[in-house]
Amino acid sequence: MYDNQVGKLWADRGFLSLKPLGSWIEDLIARIKFLKDWIDLGTPKIFWMSGFFFPQAFVTGILQNFARKRTIAIDKLNYRFGILDNLSGPTDIK
């Protein structure tokens, strides 16, 4: 704590970050609030992807849920991303 570094025990079990201890704690509190709000208020409209401990699992879970709901093989699904520009709206990327 004296050198403002995340302790080894916390770093080994917590989320990956190069932030100093104070910023790491602020981030931890924000992550807990995000998850608590999700539990208390229901599914959010926007997800804080970097707030997840392992975002790849969340993204895979989205594909799995969609595939199961529509009875589609998961390996036939993929994501398509668009760039959002506040001035002109979404633009698809091919």
Specify whether the CB–CB gap between 93 and 82 falls below 8 A: yes
Q: Compute the radius of gyration of the chain from its Cα atoms.
A: 18
Confidence of residue 3 (pLDDT cuts 50, 70, 90): confident
Encode pLDDT of 42-83 as tens digits. 999 888 888 888 888 999 999 999 999 999 999 999 988 777
Where along the chain do its domains lie? Answer: 1-44, 54-94
* pLDDT the model gives residue 91: 57
Residue 23 to residue 43: CA distance in whole angstroms? 27
DSSP code, position 1: -
Dihedral sign, Cα of residue 49, residue 51, residue 56, residue 62: negative
The chain-wide mean pLDDT, for the chain, equals 87
Residue-level length of the chain:
94
